[in-house]
Structure 1
Amino acid sequence: MQIKYLMDENLPPTYQIQLRRKEPDLVVWAIGDPNTPPKGTLDPDILIWCEKYDFILVTNNRSSMPVHLIDHLAQGQHIPGIFQINPSMSLGETIEELVLAALASLDDEYRDRISYLPLS
């Protein structure tokens, strides 16, 4: 299984653009793109969408996302994972981490948890 990323709507579009440029075969969608949740979708609904379509959420939401994940799991649901952006990392460092994770991860390695960048 190849990792697919859904970029949170609060992340600058540069993340999606640079990921696609660095690794053209990587599936990188952003909230508000066609076939994704529309902008303004509540976090619990985004987690349901990620579960249904097997996307890892990439976000900078450190405050409410952990609470929503706990609630999501408590309802017997799952998620491929959430990657939390590190504000002290440069855009280039973040892109490198996301590409490395996509190319070198095991199936379900990030399932049902929040992983904080950098992963190593």
Structure 2
Amino acid sequence: DTGDIIRGKDLYRGNNGKDKLENNLKEIFKKIYGKLTDRRAKDHYQDESGNYYQLREDWWNNNRKMVWRAITCHAGESDKYFRDACSGGTTLTQGKCRCPSYKVPTYFDYVPQYLR
């Protein structure tokens, strides 16, 4: 799940491709942290381990809608999301795999992966 990957909580341990991705994400969030100008924000997000988990969590919360739009922007009009996601289980998502008002159809975002 994209949110778990960005937040550093993905359970996939398949090969070293995961390690490369995680290292790249650490570098990206290190750069974001380095560009913070507010002293309180720097103090809040400071992370001696270099993982920047709180910054990653907050970044995901602020950007998940735009990430979803970017992922689905080239989906065809007849493409459907693979599960009942928007209408209380009565229909599949319509129109570029999106729910009305561009709501992200990931209700399990904060449920641990092993429980999904």
Same fold by TM-score, threshold 0.5 exceeded? no
TM-score by length of 1: 0.29
TM-score by length of 2: 0.30
Between Structure 1 and Structure 2, the one with more helix by share is: 2
